Structure 1
Amino acid sequence: MLDISPLTWGLTIGVIIALLAVDLISAAVRPHRVGLREATIWSVFYILVAVAFGVWFTIQHGGTFGTEYFAGYIVEKSLSVDNLFVFVIIMTTFAVPDRHQHKVLTFGIVLALVMRAFFIAVGATLLSLLSFVFLLFGLLLIYTAVQLFRHRDEDPDVDDNVLVKAARRVLPVTDEYIGGKLVARVDGRRMVTPLLIVLIAIGSIDVLFAVDSIPAVFGVTEEPYIVFVANAFALLGLRALYFLVKGLLDRLVYLSTGLALILGFIGVKLILHWAHVDIDGRVPEISTPVSLVVIVVVLLVVVVASLIKTRRDPTAKAHAGSLRAHAAQTDTSRPGRSGGR
């Protein structure tokens, strides 16, 4: 059992808040289009921070917990790339100007961290009280993997989001983004801008990703601290990674398939763990080092196969994958859309 002192928890949360504050201040003080050089510097910085933390953590708490951290970080980082697909879809659907995308992404990351912290607390409590929750988490991941694989060539339908539809129905929305404001007065009438609808879409998507990603990382480690820091460091670099790779995401044509395989594998790992603990100690378990190798190999195969596919077929395009089928949207005249796909 990992023993983390309140001081270590406090310092960890303080560092994460400080890194988030830098992003928030940068987005608020100087809205701008993030270029390739800036995105590369920030991406490398966040990866180095995550690796440096992992090295310190391994030295302090041993190789077993260190391996769990790196496995959890890689799982969450790979799932966060799927987040990027959905962020690109949302930004394109609502034609968010480049200078405001920084702000939207930072908000999305902050909300994602809050959602994950909540689900981590709930998940850790349930796992400590009821071991069959491992079975429920495993079944949830396998179901998600099957659905993601079935609809791997689709994208989530942002317009079909319940909260987005309700907001459009209830709130008066301007046609244009007005200086990056959420609320503006137009012709004497107070209205919300499309930016608020974008934030609602991002927030609701964050909840769905948290529901999937938390059981996935609990399949690698049962330690709430490791689950939290793996999620935090994976998400902190998401904003910079978005600007760095958004032009390359279309080439990862097999990413959804790879993520489905990873989620299914972790689901099986959780079920075997439950069976080992609750049914028969002779039931084999999948160790964390084996999980780490499988995850890394799947991701490498996905990237290489995707690049080969797009080189041979330049028309091939990646999709984020969806958990359910949906009809194609053809109406682009609704309020709050100042552009289309």
Structure 2
Amino acid sequence: MGVTPLIWIITIAITIAFFVFEFFAHVRKPHEPSIAESARWSAFYIGLALLFGVGIGVFSGWTFGGEYFAGYLTEKALSIDNLFVFLIIMTGFAVPKIYQQKVLMIGIVIALIMRGAFIAVGAALIENFSWIFYIFGALLLFLAYRQAFAHGESDPANGRFMKFVRRVLPVSEEYNDDKLTVRKNGKRFVTPMLLVIIAIGFIDLVFAVDSIPAIYGLTNEAYIVFTANAFALMGLRQLYFLIGGLLERLVYLAQGLAVILAFIGVKLVFHALHVNELPFINGGEPLLWVPEIPIWFSLLFIAATVAVATFLSLRKTRNDDKKKERETFEGEKVIHAPED
């Protein structure tokens, strides 16, 4: 793709500038954003991401453009799943709504930093070891299984990691505005706000393990991996407040993501076989008969999977709501039925 160090520096600087702007314009003063505000900024960031993808397509070719859009869509879907876990954490810690913006902002910045580190490591591994695609593929297939069958079974706010943190740190039971520590009777305590940030940081690390191998299954270009992740994370804070109620209705999101991760895992294994150098597989020779899944098919498959998962989720929750209404109505009829 031919990305120069100067382009990297400019891209990272602009990314940092956006997050600094976000903090001073929206987060520094605690408040609960309105639906209109969240919708405007969500549309702005999504539009910016799409415009950037068009720019890649025009200036670097539509193969790279397709890789970017497939990566962006995958990372956006994974980020929405990330939001669902953020919602569980903030509910578990009873974070006041006016402070949730700050928590989300910190969580998103931590996520970008962690993903940036994973991107650098992933790029180095891919550059030097073609067999790493086998590892990434197997990891994604395992994560797909876990996503499909073990999603939502744990409470991040009260998991083993957070119990360990509570044992190590003296914790105040009450929030003190948005402060991270508070002094009581001459002793320094951490507030629940700091615990929330620690929990979200830990979850960000877990999600980075899902995210980076997934997008490297769609492109080998570290620049596309970084920008797709950055744009997927931009506007995530506003999206949280915009679709907060909808998150709980996406009941098949985990299964949809599992299908996407499994698909990319298979794609990675196919690619690994196609460029095979392992001596115990086909004598160290590539298996050229193994198909390479084209990026246009990957993009269509991912988009269709997200659309189907969303449609089925909303249909199920709508049907469940209607069923509850009927049961409530029938129950009221029984209660108020006249006695003979």
- Quick check: TM above 0.5? yes
Partners of 2:27 and 2:238 lie apart in 1 by 16
In the alignment, what sits opposite 1:173?
Answer: 171
In the alignment, what sits opposite 2:237?
Answer: 239
Partners of 1:21 and 1:233 lie apart in 2 by 15
Instruction: Judge which range, 164-173 or 132-141, deviates more.
Output: 164-173
Q: In structure 2, the residue corresponding to 1:176 is in which secondary structure? A: coil
Letter paired with 1:198: V
Runs of 4+ in 1 over 6 A off after TM superposition: none
State the 1:191 CA deviation: 1.0
In the alignment, what sits opposite 2:250?
Answer: 252
Partners of 1:220 and 1:146 lie apart in 2 by 20
Q: In structure 2, the residue corresponding to 1:178 is in which secondary structure? A: coil
Maintained 8 Å contact 1:172/1:191: yes
- Over residues 245-294 of structure 1, what are the superposed CA-to-partner deviations in whole Å (9 max), with x where a residue is unaligned? 11111111111110000000000000000001113112111111100010
Partners of 2:53 and 2:111 lie apart in 1 by 22
State the 1:85 CA deviation: 0.5
Q: Does 1:308 align with 2:315?
A: yes
Partners of 1:315 and 1:13 lie apart in 2 by 48
**Residues 61/87 of structure 1: CA separation in 2 closer, same or farther (3 Å cut):** same
Q: In structure 2, the residue corresponding to 1:81 is in which secondary structure? A: helix
Q: Does 1:284 align with 2:291?
A: yes
Letter paired with 2:295: T
What pairs with 1:1-341 in structure 2 (closer than 5 Å)? 2-27=1-26, 29-152=28-151, 154-162=153-161, 164-278=162-276, 279-314=286-321
Letter paired with 2:273: A
Instruction: Judge which range, 115-124 or 280-289, deviates more.
Output: 280-289
Partners of 1:93 and 1:19 lie apart in 2 by 30
- Over residues 290-326 of structure 1, what are the superposed CA-to-partner deviations in whole Å (9 max), with x where a residue is unaligned? 000100111111111111111111299xxxxxxxxxx
Letter paired with 2:97: D
State the 1:184 CA deviation: 1.2
State the 1:35 CA deviation: 1.5
State the 1:26 CA deviation: 3.4
In the alignment, what sits opposite 1:336?
Answer: none
Maintained 8 Å contact 2:136/2:265: yes
**Residues 58/199 of structure 1: CA separation in 2 closer, same or farther (3 Å cut):** same
Partners of 1:265 and 1:119 lie apart in 2 by 21
Letter paired with 1:212: D
Maintained 8 Å contact 2:93/2:157: no
Output the TM-score relative to the length of structure 1.
0.89
**Residues 99/110 of structure 1: CA separation in 2 closer, same or farther (3 Å cut):** same
Maintained 8 Å contact 1:27/1:103: no
Partners of 1:315 and 1:249 lie apart in 2 by 19
Letter paired with 2:240: Y
State the 1:28 CA deviation: 5.0
Q: Aligned Cα RMSD in Å?
A: 1.4
Output the TM-score relative to the length of structure 2.
0.90
Structure with higher helix content: 2
Maintained 8 Å contact 1:161/1:201: no
Q: Could you tell me the percent identity over the aligned residues? A: 52
Partners of 1:211 and 1:269 lie apart in 2 by 17
Partners of 2:35 and 2:74 lie apart in 1 by 25
State the 1:27 CA deviation: 5.0
Maintained 8 Å contact 2:253/2:309: yes
Partners of 1:203 and 1:170 lie apart in 2 by 17
Instruction: Judge which range, 303-312 or 255-264, deviates more.
Output: 303-312
Partners of 1:23 and 1:166 lie apart in 2 by 33
- Over residues 164-216 of structure 1, what are the superposed CA-to-partner deviations in whole Å (9 max), with x where a residue is unaligned? 22221121111111021001112322111100000000000000000110000
Partners of 2:156 and 2:227 lie apart in 1 by 31
- Count of residues in correspondence between the two structures: 314
Maintained 8 Å contact 1:120/1:228: yes
State the 1:158 CA deviation: 3.0
Partners of 1:180 and 1:8 lie apart in 2 by 37
- Over residues 61-95 of structure 1, what are the superposed CA-to-partner deviations in whole Å (9 max), with x where a residue is unaligned? 01110110011000000000100110000010000
Unaligned runs of 5+ in 2: 277-285, 324-340
**Residues 132/226 of structure 1: CA separation in 2 closer, same or farther (3 Å cut):** same
Maintained 8 Å contact 2:28/2:102: no
Maintained 8 Å contact 1:149/1:256: yes
Q: In structure 2, the residue corresponding to 1:313 is in which secondary structure? A: helix
Maintained 8 Å contact 1:148/1:257: yes
Letter paired with 1:308: R
